[in-house]
Structure 1
Amino acid sequence: MAKSLRSKWRRKCKAIKRERYGAKELARLKKTLGIDENAPADSDMKEISEIATVVDAKIIKEAAQEKADAAEKLEVMDEDGKRVFSSKTMRDQHGNYPIWMNRRKILKNKKGRAKAKKATANKTKRLSRKEKKKLQAKATQLK
């Protein structure tokens, strides 16, 4: 099927387009780089300071830190009247879930919290005979 007249025609048209668009793309690339065919060959490139500014990583980090600090200050100011939701528990400062959260998801979240709480709680486990003997031995040694 690859040798039908239609596919041959399409391949021919694509080759013509490739040639035409390739020339346009090359001209655009030269224009962006500042390479001009009509200009004299000994022309210098513009100074790099005019084209781009070089900045240290420290300055960028400091600016980002300042923005983060400013954002935190705004958040603190906004917390007065607004509800702030925890991303982990999905509840606000009053223990309420967001309005858009449906009942199934709330119940699922509660069930997960209960499991986590149960897993972390210290259980009073039964002692084996060996453990009881060890405890009794320690108690007699202390007396």
Structure 2
Amino acid sequence: MRLVIQRVSEAAVRIKNKVAGQIETGLLILAGITSDDTEEDIRWISRKVVQMRIFSDAEGKMNRSVQDIDGNILLISQFTLLANTKKGNRPSFIEAAPPAIAIPLYEKLISELESELDKKIATGVFGADMQVSLINDGPVTIYLDSKNRV
């Protein structure tokens, strides 16, 4: 599972000009799910995201987590994070899990993030054509891959 995590002061996702999810201070997370992702990947990555210290403390050091600041999460599925660009000019998305595998894992990721954060998170809609807007705070953008945890 690959995530791009952005610290935001606000973020929203729209589908057909209607807001599907939005947050104030917190994390915008773009998630790419592979066919070999497991529930263990989801547990590890959820814990890591919620506890990652990327928010500033009183001294201005990145020393607080989204949990510490009672922040929010907006999670959006994005299979294009799994693009393979090694050959030619057209990306291949063969590593991306098909919907039959990805949707249950995406739903499990939502559930696990809510459990770790101890509150509901905002989401997009799996497979929808979405427009995402955000104000990246910092900017802070982190790439996280559950296969690189060892």
Counting strand residues as a fraction of each chain, which structure ranks higher?
2
TM-score computed with the length of structure 1 as normaliser: 0.19
TM-score computed with the length of structure 2 as normaliser: 0.19
